[in-house]
C-alpha cells in the first residue's frame, strides 16, 4: 500500500523514525515504550500498544534494517507468527511516495490454528489494511506539517 505525501523525503523519514513522538502522530498507537536506545538504529527495540478488535494489544518490535531516507524494516514476533513491516520512501516530484508492505509468517501452527486462520484471515486482513491506511495518513499529516 502506498501514499503520496506533500513533503520531502527528509521530512517523511524524520516522522517515520521518531519513536518518541509516535503516540502523538499515530492515532492507532495507545502507548510506545522504548526498551533501549534513544536513537533509531538497527537493533532498537520498543513495545507498541494498539487497540485491535476492541482490545489493547502490546507487541515488542525492533528495527531490523535501515537505509536512511530510503527504506527501513521493522520486525516483531508474537502468537506463533513473525511479522515484517517494510517502509520504502521514494521521491515523487516535490513530495514523497511512502510504501508500506506488511507480511506475516506462521510458525508451526497446529491444525486448529490453521483452521482458525482460514476462517478469520480475511477479516484480520481487512482490519490490518484499515490500520495501515490510517498510519500512512497520520504520517503524511505530520510530515506535511513539518515541511510547511
Q: What is the pLDDT at residue 44?
A: 97
Rounded to whole angstroms, the Cα distance separating 54 from 21 reads 23
Task: Please give the chain's pLDDT, 148 residues, in tens.
Answer: 999 999 999 999 999 999 999 999 999 999 999 999 889 999 999 999 998 777 888 999 999 999 999 999 999 988 777 889 999 999 999 999 999 998 878 776 666 555 555 555 555 556 677 888 999 999 999 999 999 8
Which domains, from first to last, does the chain contain? Answer: 2-147 (3.30.530.20)
Which pLDDT belongs to residue 120? Answer: 55
Q: Are 118 and 106 in contact (CB under 8 A)?
A: no
H or E segment at 134? helix 111-147
**Shortest CA distance to 83 belongs to which of 70, 66, 100, 69?**
100
| Per-residue model confidence (pLDDT) at position 95 | 98
Q: For position 109, what pLDDT does the model report? A: 60
| Sheet strands (E) in 8-80 | 29-34, 45-52, 55-67, 71-78
- In the prediction, which pLDDT does 19 show? 97
Instruction: Say how far apart CA 143 and CA 1 lie, in whole Å.
Output: 18
C-alpha distance across the termini of the chain, in Å: 25
CA dist 139 to 113, 121, 125, Å?
Answer: 34, 27, 21
Amino acid at each position: 500500500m502506498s501514499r503520496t505525501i506533500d513533503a520531502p523525503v527528509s521530512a517523511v523519514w524524520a516522522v517515520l523514525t521518531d519513536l518518541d513522538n509516535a503516540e502523538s502522530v499515530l492515532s492507532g498507537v495507545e502507548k510506545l515504550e522504548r526498551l533501549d536506545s534513544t536513537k533509531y538504529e538497527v537493533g532498537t527495540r520498543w513495545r507498541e500498544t494498539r487497540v485491535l478488535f476492541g482490545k489493547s494489544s502490546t507487541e515488542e518490535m525492533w528495527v531490523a534494517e535501515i537505509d536512511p531516507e530510503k527504506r527501513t524494516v521493522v520486525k516483531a514476533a508474537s502468537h506463533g507468527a513473525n511479522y515484517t513491516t517494510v517502509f520504502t520512501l521514494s521521491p515523487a516530484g516535490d513530495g514523497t511516495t511512502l510504501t508500506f508492505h506488511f507480511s506475516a509468517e506462521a510458525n508451526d501452527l497446529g491444525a486448529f490454528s490453521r483452521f482458525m486462520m482460514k476462517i478469520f484471515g480475511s477479516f484480520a486482513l481487512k482490519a490490518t489494511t484499515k490500520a495501515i491506511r490510517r498510519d500512512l495518513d497520520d504520517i503524511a499529516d505530520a510530515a506535511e506539517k513539518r515541511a510547511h
